[in-house]
Structure 1
């Protein structure tokens, strides 16, 4: 009877130890997962006499670019939605994404792709789109050529 009691206690001990094993911890989601809103446009590439425009931040919604707004929803399942609003139109573009620090690549279902650069400084996370060539309005009758980069924040 004592042997049976010892075997029972030993079996119970082994089961108890097995039950205390830690669960597998899921890896943290990449830093790019979340909701990103376009925060501003950043100007660059202007030549003299317009070099003062370089690094200027502009509000893309109220500026002369057709009231541009965008929201990126980057999901942990590697899918995303880009809700674009410009000139009275609203479009949802969808696809999948890849992230290799610091580059986020959005692969749209229609075959297009875009690269963004992730940065984090002083608690502020940003995604910077690739620079696009623009003609920047200086007045009602003049403009200058340069580049515009959309900057997103969480």
Structure 2
């Protein structure tokens, strides 16, 4: 009887110790962290300007480009960021959701943006949707013409 009592005490003690182990913290979303503008990718050019399709422009050096955009995706499903262009500064914030490799930013002003998450390279990348753009270019005949094309902004993870 004494051995049975000793054995039962040991089982209860061990059960109590194992039930007190700390649960593993859930893995944070892969999009949590700091992101900064890295490059712009161009598409949608036609005619003599079609050679610009697929071209990527480095935007990572704001001293050269006059433009920067950095934001932090926080684990509490909020984000904050700052965009700088030609001496102007704009802060922004909102909430986010992530699923199916898509990060959706819901800005406090009501706007919404979806970025495609790419973890196949380091640093990880977020690619924005196509932004229709128009700009005047000099063509081969030395005439200034209005050209329509698309820009995609690509962000790189900083931590």
Unaligned residue ranges in structure 1 (runs of 5+): none
1:20 alignment partner, SS class: helix
Structure 1: how far apart are the matches of 2:91 and 2:10?
57
Matches within 5 A, 1:54-65: 54-60=53-59, 61=62, 62-63=64-65
Structure 1: how far apart are the matches of 2:92 and 2:28?
22
For each residue in 1:83-127, what CA deviation from the matched residue of structure 2 results, as whole angstroms up to 9, or x when unmatched?
111121112101100111211100011111111011122433110
Structure 1 counterpart of 2:105: 106
TM-score by length of 2: 0.81
The number of equivalent residue pairs is 149
Unaligned residue ranges in structure 2 (runs of 5+): none
Structure 1: how far apart are the matches of 2:7 and 2:13?
10
Structure 2: how far apart are the matches of 1:13 and 1:108?
55
The question of 1:125 aligning with 2:129 is answered: no
TM-score by length of 1: 0.84
Structure 1: how far apart are the matches of 2:104 and 2:76?
15
Structure 2 counterpart of 1:71: 70
